[in-house]
A and B are shown apart, each in its own frame.
Chain A
Amino acid sequence: MFYREAGDFNTSYAQDQQTFPIKFDRYRYYLVLFVAIFVIPFMVNDYWVNSLFLPFLIYAIAAIGLNILVGYCGQVSLGTGGFMAVGAYACYKLMTAMPDVSMFIHILLAGVITAAVGALFGLPSLRIKGFYLAVATLAAQFFLVWLFNRVPWFYNYSASGQISAPERDTFGILITGPNTDAWATYMFCLIFTVGSALVARNLTRGSVGRKWMAIRDMDIAAEIIGVNPLRAKLTAFAVSSFFIGISGALFFSIYLGAVEVGEAFGIQKSFLVLFMIIIGGLGSIFGSFAGAAFLVLLPVLLKIVGVDWLGWPTDIVAHLQLVIVGGLIIIFLIAEPHGLAQLWRVAKEKLRLWPFPH
């Protein structure tokens, strides 16, 4: 009734090529942005920001990054935690070495450094494929975590072996350290999340993205039609690691504030982000958001229901959470291998015809 492309005439190529060609989609997108920028910052408090919005925004960036690699380029990676750690430690070294530079630049630089590391660990992907590659990326995961644990230079020789974010501001507004305002950290992460989504969306529908998808669908065939597999795979690794590095840097500096590398960026983190993109939908930017939202919300919801309402001990709820997450992943893979994004697509198809489906 209201969701139609009928009557929506495009008069220029720019209109034809835009991200949301249907008017309703476009206005919904503007509405979401409006709420995110002009409504939420005035309503949030520390609890909401720290338990929901920050993890959601930060994991969404990581999920977009991993989705580029796994969903668009077909290279399965289990090294996400390690690459996030690279972002975090790069950010920490930059923050402490150059206190006067804006945090924006530090975070972007952390992303660039992670991209370089990611491309390095992506090199074997030219020879190794499929499962073998998935296991090979575990080398990155374990090696990087070990490196940050064992080499004191990375944590500035601090006695505890932890890194903790000093107070830094951007444009005069404090965004790291213990004395930040909820809205400031939220807005800072939001800018990066929206930026990442925009860049990723436009990359994946451009020539680079089409090359990635060609490699994903069949790399030999792609090579024959003229896609350079070296360039395509390495750019996928680099771009993916760039986003993951940004998310790692934000995760450390804005969200946690202090990090012990094995705990914050262990193998569990790699699986968590992988689950986000499976549940959300491989090869979909919206899916990255949906998956991140789902897996951030689920533990909070379970905790509220299990601990606060039913009064169960927290360890039982934690175990139940494992069971539910595991079960959900299996159910999703059986019922809808393309994840929440596919459900959304189906819903939109139905809406187009609604209320007269014939």
Chain B
Amino acid sequence: MPEQLAFTIEVFMNGLMAGVLYALVALGFVLIYKASGIFNYAQGVMALFAALTLVGIMEGQVPFSHLINAILGTEVHHFGWHVPAFLAIVLTMVVMIVLAYCVQRFVFRYLVGQEPIILFMATIGLAYFLEGVGDLMWGSEIKTLDVGLPQGINVWIDEFTFDATGYGFFIDNLDIVASIVAAILVIGLVMFAQYTKQGRAMRAVADDHQAALSVGVSLNFIWILVWSLAGFVALVAGIMWGAKSGVQFSLSLIALKALPVLMLGGFTSIPGAIVGGLIIGVGEKLFEFLIGAPFLGGATENWFAYMLALVFLVFRPQGLFGEKIIERV
């Protein structure tokens, strides 16, 4: 097998894995958008916040320690204990649910019925707020997150492909785990939406708020549920991305990477988020490898996804799987 082709296939595989991670973030967007019409820009910051909280709890950090020290002049940093990963994840989930409740109770309850663009801007405000709170609570230095996920090159694939093609593919174990987790998550979410009572209520709300309200679905509860689910997805995304590249501010920028994924897949479709994520992941890695790095000076990954989505949307404004946009005067 020629070298170039082997490299291309490797890049393709890695693109698929990256795409899965994008899709993971995009999933959170789709959940909230479907159920409440809110385009939640804060999804990326929620992932960052979840990851920060997880690390903080595991390390036994004192929340707001910097602020407390600055005000009271004390020197507190850590409680001095270490929480096992599983317990910490559960505790973080509790925090995310509380957050979901607060977001619904203090922000979006007052914004029901506003124009979508106002809601969108409110989530940008929420993103800033959360980012600031996260930094104040846990400090802004780069942290490493280790919940015991396997990392490094997958030796089996390396050897297998070396035997088959004469060139060993580099696939990170973490990416494989992330793909499996994402698959489970998607199946779980679809099952939840299709087969449980709350899931049906959720779909009813997504379909028509007023009709759902009139048959006795509690909008408030459903919205808190949806934000909690988005918090859960954010936590999973935060763990995966945090384990991959450390918990730091740039984690929140994955929200920006998820946006073109959403545009491509359509805002309202869960399969769309997955397919869109895979297309973007493969597309940007292949473009960078084949055209960007040799001819354009590299780092095309910054914009390729947006350009792809932009060109695509000109031909199909609702995305791949989105509901057809019908406009009436």
Q: Give A residues with C-beta under 8 Å from B.
A: 76, 124, 127-132, 134-136, 138-139, 142-143, 145-146, 149-151, 218, 220-221, 224, 267, 271, 274-275, 278, 310, 312-313, 315-316, 319-330, 333-334, 337
Query: Closest residue to A277 on the B side, CB-wise?
Result: B121
Query: Closest residue to A222 on the B side, CB-wise?
Result: B329
* Chain B residues positioned under 8 Å from A313 (CB to CB): 66, 70
Q: In the assembly, what is the distance between CA of A138 and CA of B303, in Å? A: 8
Is there an interface contact between B259 and A138, defined as CB atoms closer than 8 Å?
Answer: yes
Point out the residue from A131, A271, A319, A333 that lies within 8 Å of B132, measured CB to CB: A319
* Chain B residues positioned under 8 Å from A150 (CB to CB): 296-299
Point out the residue from B132, B140, B267 that lies within 8 Å of A320, measured CB to CB: B132
Q: In the assembly, what is the distance between CA of A139 and CA of B325, in Å? A: 22
Point out the residue from A124, A131, A275, A316 that lies within 8 Å of B67, measured CB to CB: A316
Query: Closest residue to A136 on the B side, CB-wise?
Result: B310
Q: B85-136: which have CB < 8 Å to A? A: 107, 110-111, 114, 116-118, 120-122, 124-133, 135-136
Is there an interface contact between B307 and A132, defined as CB atoms closer than 8 Å?
Answer: no
Contact of B62 with A by CB under 8 A: no
Closest A-B pairs by Cβ, 8 of them: A326-B129, A322-B132, A329-B125, A326-B128, A139-B306, A323-B132, A142-B303, A143-B303
Contact of B19 with A by CB under 8 A: no
Point out the residue from B124, B267, B307 that lies within 8 Å of A329, measured CB to CB: B124
* Chain B residues positioned under 8 Å from A139 (CB to CB): 303, 306-307, 309-310
Point out the residue from B70, B132, B307 that lies within 8 Å of A321, measured CB to CB: B132
Is there an interface contact between A326 and B132, defined as CB atoms closer than 8 Å?
Answer: yes
Is there an interface contact between A271 and B118, defined as CB atoms closer than 8 Å?
Answer: no
* Chain B residues positioned under 8 Å from A146 (CB to CB): 299-300, 302-303
Q: Can you list 26 A-B contacts with CB-CB less than 8 angstroms, sorted by A residue number?
A: A124-B310, A127-B313, A128-B313, A132-B313, A135-B263, A135-B309, A136-B310, A138-B260, A142-B303, A142-B306, A143-B303, A143-B306, A143-B307, A224-B329, A313-B66, A316-B70, A319-B136, A321-B132, A322-B131, A322-B132, A323-B129, A327-B129, A329-B128, A330-B125, A333-B121, A337-B118
Query: Closest residue to B328 on the A side, CB-wise?
Result: A220
Query: Closest residue to A262 on the B side, CB-wise?
Result: B302
Contact of B232 with A by CB under 8 A: no
Minimum C-beta distance from A75 to chain B (A): 10
Bits for B290-315, please: 1 = Cβ < 8 Å to A, else 0: 00000011111011001101100110
Query: Closest residue to B131 on the A side, CB-wise?
Result: A322
Q: In the assembly, what is the distance between CA of A271 and CA of B125, in Å? A: 10
| Max count, chain B CB within 10 A of own CB: residue among A76, A326, A327, A337 | A326
Q: A151-B297, A330-B125 are in contact. List 19 more A-B contacts (CB 8 A).
A: A124-B310, A128-B310, A130-B117, A135-B260, A135-B262, A142-B302, A142-B306, A146-B303, A150-B298, A274-B121, A310-B70, A320-B132, A323-B128, A325-B128, A325-B132, A326-B129, A327-B129, A333-B114, A334-B111
Contact of B246 with A by CB under 8 A: no
Is there an interface contact between B117 and A76, defined as CB atoms closer than 8 Å?
Answer: yes
Is there an interface contact between A326 and B300, defined as CB atoms closer than 8 Å?
Answer: no
Contact of B241 with A by CB under 8 A: no
Query: Closest residue to B127 on the A side, CB-wise?
Result: A326
Is there an interface contact between A131 and B120, defined as CB atoms closer than 8 Å?
Answer: yes
Is there an interface contact between A326 and B131, defined as CB atoms closer than 8 Å?
Answer: yes
Q: In the assembly, what is the distance between CA of A132 and CA of B124, in Å? A: 16
Is there an interface contact between A327 and B125, defined as CB atoms closer than 8 Å?
Answer: yes
Bits for B225-243, please: 1 = Cβ < 8 Å to A, else 0: 0000000000000000000
* Chain A residues positioned under 8 Å from B129 (CB to CB): 322-323, 326-327, 330
| Max count, chain A CB within 10 A of own CB: residue among B140, B299, B313 | B313
Q: In the assembly, what is the distance between CA of A150 and CA of B126, in Å? A: 33
Minimum C-beta distance from A72 to chain B (A): 14
Minimum C-beta distance from A180 to chain B (A): 34
* Chain B residues positioned under 8 Å from A326 (CB to CB): 125-132
Bits for B254-285, please: 1 = Cβ < 8 Å to A, else 0: 00100110110001000000000000000000
* Chain A residues positioned under 8 Å from B169 (CB to CB): none
Query: Closest residue to B325 on the A side, CB-wise?
Result: A129
Query: Closest residue to B103 on the A side, CB-wise?
Result: A330
Q: In the assembly, what is the distance between CA of A149 and CA of B296, in Å? A: 11
* Chain A residues positioned under 8 Å from B325 (CB to CB): 129
Is there an interface contact between B263 and A132, defined as CB atoms closer than 8 Å?
Answer: yes
Is there an interface contact between B111 and A333, defined as CB atoms closer than 8 Å?
Answer: yes
Minimum C-beta distance from B31 to chain A (A): 16
Q: In the assembly, what is the distance between CA of A113 and CA of B304, in Å? A: 24
Q: In the assembly, what is the distance between CA of A310 and CA of B73, in Å? A: 12
Point out the residue from A135, A136, A224, A333 that lies within 8 Å of B125, measured CB to CB: A333
Minimum C-beta distance from A134 to chain B (A): 7
* Chain B residues positioned under 8 Å from A128 (CB to CB): 310, 313-314, 317
* Chain A residues positioned under 8 Å from B307 (CB to CB): 139, 143
Q: In the assembly, what is the distance between CA of A324 and CA of B298, in Å? A: 38
Q: In the assembly, what is the distance between CA of A145 and CA of B302, in Å? A: 9
* Chain B residues positioned under 8 Å from A224 (CB to CB): 329
Q: In the assembly, what is the distance between CA of A330 and CA of B125, in Å? A: 6
Contact of B49 with A by CB under 8 A: no
* Chain B residues positioned under 8 Å from A221 (CB to CB): 329
Point out the residue from B107, B110, B118, B309 that lies within 8 Å of A136, measured CB to CB: B309
Contact of B39 with A by CB under 8 A: yes
Contact of B327 with A by CB under 8 A: yes
